[in-house]
Amino acid sequence: MAHAVNGVVAAGRGAKVSVETILVPDPGPGEALVKVQACGVCHTDLHYREGGINDEFPFLLGHEAAGVVEAVGDGVTDLAPGDFVILNWRAVCGSCRSCLRGRPQYCFNTHNASQPMTLVDGTPLSPALGIGAFAEKTLVHSGQCTKVDPRAPAEVAGLLGCGVMAGIWPTSRTCSAGATR
Ligand SMILES: [Zn+2]
Ligand SMILES: [Zn+2]
């Protein structure tokens, strides 16, 4: 069953963004459905809207978020409904050369959700940074969820998902690196 929720969509290059009803599928194998509690506004979202990242419109914006896991798909064992999580751009594989060297930020085989979120007419959305969290719910790969202390306010914890990461790993394939260089 798909969940019909509100999301902020950039329909075309430079066009004003709008709140649209989007359809978020139930999680399939390896995926997690997350109820978003907070999502920061990052300059990269503007870059997406301006067509500065790629032309894969329509985009579902938002990628610096925290929320609560609502459901997980088959095979997901390290995450459960009710977990408070930060969302990451990509899930690392854990088994490639970089991951085995302890440098997962250079992983060669990262994952996002494999099912698309869509507009109500079925048009697939491109989630910003593989997250798309300017929405009441979003679908990600389970490895994109990092459990954190639920006592942390969501609007603070979510910043770890982009602003803090971009600062710590300026040479990795981060949001800021991709957007501004
Ligand atoms: Zn960002
Ligand atoms: Zn890897």
Ligand (nearest to CA of 109)? 2
Q: What span, in angstroms and rounded, lies between the C-alpha atoms of 178 and 172?
A: 9
**118 found inside a domain:** yes
Ligand (nearest to CA of 88)? 1
| pLDDT, position 7 | 98
* Closest of 109, 123, 106, 130 to residue 53, by C-alpha: 130
Chain-centre distance for alpha carbon 65: 8
Instruction: Kindly state the average pLDDT of the residues 50-78.
Output: 97
Judge whether residue 2 has pLDDT over 90: yes
Confidence of residue 173 (pLDDT cuts 50, 70, 90): low
Provide φ and ψ at 106, rounded to 5°: -110, 15
84 alpha carbon to ligand 1 midpoint, in Å? 20
Domain count, the chain: 1
**124 found inside a domain:** yes
When comparing pLDDT for 172 and 118, which is higher? 118
Q: What span, in angstroms and rounded, lies between the C-alpha atoms of 12 and 128?
A: 14
**111 found inside a domain:** yes
Judge whether residue 124 has pLDDT over 50: yes
**78 found inside a domain:** yes
Our CA angle for 125, 113, 80, nearest 5°, is 125
Ligand (nearest to CA of 104)? 2
Place of tokens 């260089």: 181
Both tokens assigned to 153: 């306010």
**23 found inside a domain:** yes
Q: Which domain holds residue 95?
A: 3-176
**112 found inside a domain:** yes
Instruction: Kindly state the average pLDDT of the residues 71-95.
Output: 95
**10 found inside a domain:** yes
| pLDDT, position 177 | 42
Least confident of 61-70, 78-87, 92-101, 161-170: 161-170
Ligand (nearest to CA of 44)? 1
105 alpha carbon to ligand 2 midpoint, in Å? 8
CATH code for position 107: 3.90.180.10
Judge whether residue 180 has pLDDT over 70: no
**Residues bordering ligand 2, an ion, CB closer than 5 Å:** 92-93, 96, 99, 107
**181 found inside a domain:** no
Rg (the chain; Cα; Å): 15
172 alpha carbon to ligand 2 midpoint, in Å? 13
